[in-house]
Amino acid sequence: MLPFFLSVSELHLLKIGENPMTEKLYYNNFRDTEFEAKILEQKKENNEWLIVLDRTLFYPEGGGQPADKGYLNDIEVNNVLKKKGRIYHYLSNELKSEFVRGKINWEHRFDYMQQHTGQHMISATFESIFKYGTVSVHMSSEYTSVELSTNAVSETEVRQVEELVNSSILKNLPIRYIQTNDSDINKFQLRRPSKLKGNIRLVNIENYDCVACGGVHLENTRDVKLVKFFKSEKIRGNIRTYWKIGNRAYQDYEKKTQLINRLRNVLNSDENNIENKIEQLNIEISDVKSQRNKLRKGLVCFYKKDLLLNRQPDKPERFISRIWNNEDGEFIFQLLKSMINEKNIIICFINKNNGIFNWSIGCSEDINVDFNEVRKNILIPLNCKGGGKSPIWQGVGTDSDKAIDFIDKLSKTIGK
């Protein structure tokens, strides 16, 4: 068996012996999922119980790699954090025994081992081919990102890195953890220099990468399975690249395959023709929109004439109103805008829609509407909202049965 090796994320560097209390099984026995341990300390803090054990398989959050998930005596471990060299397990309930059985979620652990080792390979490849250093890394449940010390990365460069990493994964390169110290560190060719004092742990991917790191890694590159780049963005003058790594890359492939299948069905199209089909639909949509605009203009003319000619006998002459049901809001707005070009006119349109209603009020420029009066006499009593500035005000009423009331009140308030 290989000697015991440790990995360190570039951003989270651990030193041997900094926590003599808890034996770090997650380094020594990183394939194990269950363990037994003795409780050394248990204290309550902010409704949580903090447990220190004499040994643990739970990797504490650090270096971009999240804490392990799992259980202590069937009580879920909410988080694992390292503070001043002590590893604290956070639980919602107290542990009522001297010894505990622990179990970690292997799927979660393995996923992040894939993310972390994959990230090292990506960082090493950008560094070796293009001299782009790694500024920061982030591993979330959705993606792993690598921020590079460059202000531009081309598509070709990324593809080159992706291809080299994937071909190196297939070479099944062994990954070893090396224990060394600050006086011997110069014997190693590190991707980035280590400023650590005392004992230092290195993670070494054979003939590929060597760097100080405190995370938990895979034993060989083959287990990374696959890395897939999917996007990049500028950040703080650097470029952040986003990756799907390991089983996630396969799951992402499966998700995209299903999406393509749904698109094929929806568009009734062959996979290779989906793009053309969408472009064709976009052209059709824009034709239909321009036809609709023409029709809308015609309708605006028609309704304007009709409303001006056929005034409501029970309302003041300059007051024109109409109630619509589920009408195109844009058409109503265009009609309102067109009508306020007339002289001495106040318009109120209501559009009822699913139990509520949209109201709009407009006036010609020779008329002054005191909207405070409207708010006081109509909006507040009828539980309506909205506002605007002369010559157009708009809003919503919560009860479409009050639409007629709205118009009556308005005609009395400002129609005269």
Provide the binding-site residues for Zn ion, judged by CB under 5 A.
9, 213, 215
Q: Give the nearest distance from C-beta 196 to Zn ion in angstroms.
A: 14
Nearer to Zn ion, 215 or 362 (CB): 215
Q: What is the CA radius of gyration of the chain?
A: 34
Which residue of this chain has its Cβ atom nearest to Zn ion in the complex? 9
Nearer to Zn ion, 215 or 397 (CB): 215
Render 199-256 in DSSP notation, one character per residue. EEEEEEETTTEEEE--S---SBGGGG--EEEEEEEEETTEEEEEEEETHHHHHHHHHH
Q: Give the nearest distance from C-beta 116 to Zn ion in angstroms.
A: 6
Distance CA 339, CA 331 (A): 12
Q: Give the nearest distance from C-beta 115 to Zn ion in angstroms.
A: 10
Element (H, E) at 113: helix 106-130
Q: Give the nearest distance from C-beta 192 to Zn ion in angstroms.
A: 11
Q: Are 245 and 136 in contact (CB under 8 A)?
A: no
Nearer to Zn ion, 189 or 368 (CB): 189
CA atoms within 13 A on the CB side of 128: 17
Nearer to Zn ion, 60 or 215 (CB): 215
Nearer to Zn ion, 9 or 334 (CB): 9
Q: Give the nearest distance from C-beta 330 to Zn ion in angstroms.
A: 55
As given in the structure block, the two tokens for residue 94 are 């107290």
Q: Give the nearest distance from C-beta 8 to Zn ion in angstroms.
A: 6
Nearer to Zn ion, 126 or 324 (CB): 126
Element (H, E) at 393: strand 392-397
Distance CA 9, CA 115 (A): 11
